[in-house]
Amino acid sequence: VTRVLVVEDSATILLLLRTRLEMAGYEVVTASSGAGALDALRDEQPDLVVMDVMLPGKSGMEVLAEMRSAGDETPVIVCTAHRDEADRSGAMAAGANDYIVKPIDFEELFEKLRGLLD
Amino acid sequence: MKGLRDRFLNPTIGSRLRLGFGIMLVLLVAVTVFGVGRLFQLRQDFEGDNGRAFQLELAAERLRSAFILEQAALRGSGRSRAAKLREYRQAADVADNAAAAALSLIGGDDPSDRALRSTLAAERRWRNGVAGPILRARPPNPQTAARRAGDVVNAVNQLLAHQRSRRVELRKDVRDESRRTAIFVLAGLAVGFVIAVLIFGGLVNSMRAPLADLVRGARRLSSGQLDARVEVGGPGETAELGMAFNEMASDLEEASRRIEDERQRLSTMIESLGDGLVTVDAEGRITLTNPAARAMLPDAHPGVPLEEAFGPLSPDPEALRELLAGHNSGELRLTSEEKVLAVLVAPLETREAGTVLSIRDMSDRARLERMKDDFLVTVSHELRSPLTSIKGFAELLRMKSKGLTKEQSQSVEVIEESTSGLVELVNDLLDLARSDAGRLSITQRPCDAGQLIEDVAALLRPRMQEKNQDLRIAVQDGLPKLFADPDRVKQILINLLTNAHVYTQDGGEIELGARRVEDGVELTVADNGPGIPIADQEHLFERFWRAQAGETQTVSGSGLGLPIVKSLVDLHGGEIGIHSESGKGTICGVVLPSTEVERLPEEETAR
């Protein structure tokens, strides 16, 4: 079973993501802050991370930077509010493997998940 | 009257000159005429006197000869008495005639004259009275005759001596008189000359002071002392010149005061202007600033090069120099962390080349615009999370629609549709806000126009079918690749196609096309809808403006589609054109660069 870590500070969106991912057959672990994400990465060893860019405390970008500098190459899909933000925030440059834009198109998300996990 | 009196009291230079010359001429002529006449008269008199004296002398000589001949006739032997008498008589006649001639010539009162006259009278008396009767008969006694002749000869000799001395005297008199006349003429000429000199000297003298005054006045005027006036005086023209000078100086002072007033007014206006005003000379140095300009540019002092005054705001120096050198007006925008200044540059149309810059502080406006953009960005960001939830959970509901009633399913569909509309609106707003802020970015790369058209057609075909609209695709063969941002091209096509779909009636025809043009590739969206009324066409790119699709039909959509399309096309350096004919349809064409003509976008892509 593929384990996906979802990092998202909004409880409803977290619920939505968890529901859809579980419906699609993924095992889901969650975190709602940057620090929590780093803990979950260490404890849960996920196969893939779906992470919001805007997080309270440590931002998604910082988490990503810490992961990559620690040699953690787990694929990461960042979730941004606008297409431009993925480019402008430098998420792709910082080591994200892909991005999706809110409101989330789940078909697109699943396609990208499949692509990264193959 | 007054003029006449003035002229009399203050004669003109001309009349003074005429007077001087006139007096000199009259004196010259008078003295000359008198002198010449006098000399002529003297000569006449002298010649008359001299002639008369000469004749008198001649007569006297003749008389003396006659008497000597008389004596000679009486003397001698060997001749008869009768012959002697005849000769004597002849000689006596000659002597009588000579005596008569001499007497007629003696006019003087000199003792010698008187002596000759009385001697001759005595002789005549003797001849007529005593000697006459005897003489007719025989010659007189030679002793008596000799004595008498001796008297006459003595008297004649006396007269001749007197005449000679008189002639000498006459000549001397004439010489003296001539000399006196010459002296008189010279003296007259000298007097005329002196009078003329006095008149001319007086004239020059009377002009000298006023002229010097005028020269001083003119110098003072030219050195800027406009209150300089001269004392009016001197001969007519000089006085007039003085008056004219004073008038001119007054006019000049008045004009200068007016100019000064005007300058003051302008200066006050410039000083109180809200916009900054800076003038620059031909070398690019500041010549004038107003308080507003100094507030905006603290380093703007006269003499400082404009580029320095702009300080940290300093724009592209090349562009600035070009503007300053040019003869056309232009605009410049200076931006720094805390300031945004809009600068209007206009050449000064004066003899000394220069430029006037009018500076408006746009900082507040720029800040407001930034706030507006930030607000829009924030709002659309904040809307995304709830929208994600609504959309996601509506989808979830639809996925489990088996457990829902038909009404509930329809409600879910409405929620999903509305959410899609809302998402589009938020996206559009965000795009526009970014476009305004210059933060909308594109990433150009080669992409296949045909493929993009297929993708968009596939995406929208289901909606077309709902209205039974026929969507056709016409892509030219051998089309070059677009050099564009594929996502943005899709966005453009979706917007245009959505418009065509919305505004075209049920069962209408819509065509998506692509063809090679000079500047790249033209993508076209054509429909056979109602067309856009001419009056509406100018509003097409206005935000939130929507065309009426018909009398009753309401149109959905934000009214942001075409403005966004235009922004995106501009970002690509492309062009958009809409051609519409009422009742026949609309064709909308967008020209984008192709890999054949990699045109640089108009604005650098924002980073």
Mean predicted confidence (pLDDT) in B160-169? 84
Mean predicted confidence (pLDDT) in A114-118? 87
pLDDT of B602 above 60? no
From CA B77, how far away is CA A79, in angstroms rounded?
Answer: 200
pLDDT of A39 above 80? yes
Provide the whole-model pTM: 0.52
Q: How confident is the model at residue B551 (pLDDT cuts 50, 70, 90)?
A: very low
How large is the ipTM?
A: 0.88
Q: Please count the residues of chain B.
A: 607
A59: exposed, middle or buried (C-beta count within 10 Å: 0-12, 13-18, 19+)? middle
From CA A70, how far away is CA B183, in angstroms rounded?
Answer: 142
Considering only alpha carbons, which residue of chain B is nearest residue A15?
B389
pLDDT of B355 above 80? yes
pLDDT of A21 above 90? yes
pLDDT of B185 above 90? no
User: What is the bridge-based pairing of β-strands A98-101 and A76-80?
Assistant: parallel
pLDDT of B202 above 50? yes
Q: How confident is the model at residue B60 (pLDDT cuts 50, 70, 90)?
A: confident
Interface of B with A (CB under 8 A): 380-381, 384-385, 387-389, 391-393, 395-396, 399, 419, 423, 427, 430, 434, 439-441, 443, 487
Q: What is the pLDDT of residue A87?
A: 58
From CA B26, how far away is CA B20, in angstroms rounded?
Answer: 10
Establish if A16 touches chain B: CB-CB under 8 angstroms: yes
Which chain B residues contact residue A81 at CB under 8 A?
Answer: 380-381, 384
Q: What is the pLDDT of residue B165?
A: 86
pLDDT of B94 above 50? yes
Q: What is the pLDDT of residue A102?
A: 84
B257-269 tens-digit pLDDT: 999 999 999 889 8
Lowest mean pLDDT among A57-66, B185-194, B320-329: B320-329
User: A80, A102, A106: best mutation site toward chain B, by most B Cβ within 10 Å?
Assistant: A102
- Position B388: which residue type? T
State the DSSP code for B312: G
- Cis peptide leading into residue B140 (ω within 30°): no
B3-32 tens-digit pLDDT: 556 556 666 777 878 887 888 888 888 888
Q: What is the pLDDT of residue B548?
A: 60
pLDDT of B600 above 60? no
CB pairs under 8 A between A and B: 50
Q: What is the pLDDT of residue B436?
A: 76
Distance from CA of A108 to the nearest CA of B (A): 13
From CA A44, how far away is CA A40, in angstroms rounded?
Answer: 5
From CA A52, how far away is CA A72, in angstroms rounded?
Answer: 18
CA separation, residue B181 to residues B46, B168, B178, B411 (Å):
15, 20, 5, 153
Distance from CA of B590 to the nearest CA of A (A): 23
Which chain A residues contact residue B440 at CB under 8 A?
Answer: 84
Percent of chain B past pLDDT 90, that is, above it, reads: 11
From CA B529, how far away is CA B546, in angstroms rounded?
Answer: 15
Q: What is the pLDDT of residue B157?
A: 84
Inter-chain CB proximity B385 and A88 less than 8 Å: no
| Pair of tokens at residue A105 | 């198109």
Q: At what angle do helices A34-44 and A60-69 cross, to 10 degrees?
A: 40
Contact B229, B246 (CB under 8 A): yes
Inter-chain CB proximity A87 and B441 less than 8 Å: yes
| Pair of tokens at residue B114 | 């008187």
Q: What is the pLDDT of residue B603?
A: 42
User: B384, B422, B434, B440: best mutation site toward chain A, by most A Cβ within 10 Å?
Assistant: B384
The pLDDT mean for chain A works out to 87
Rg (CA), chain B: 70
Establish if A83 touches chain B: CB-CB under 8 angstroms: yes
Q: Longest Cα pair distance anywhere in chain A, in angstroms?
A: 34
Establish if A35 touches chain B: CB-CB under 8 angstroms: no
Inter-chain CB proximity A20 and B393 less than 8 Å: no
Establish if A87 touches chain B: CB-CB under 8 angstroms: yes
From CA B157, how far away is CA B187, in angstroms rounded?
Answer: 45
B305-325 tens-digit pLDDT: 887 777 767 667 777 777 777
Q: Please count the residues of chain A.
A: 118
Inter-chain CB proximity B443 and A81 less than 8 Å: no
Q: How far apart are the first and last CA of chain A?
A: 13
State the DSSP code for B310: H
DSSP string of B491-510, one letter each residue: HHHHHHHHHHHHHSPTT-EE
| Pair of tokens at residue A88 | 């402008």
Q: In sequence order, which ranges of A33-104 are alpha helices (DSSP H)? A: 34-44, 60-69, 83-88
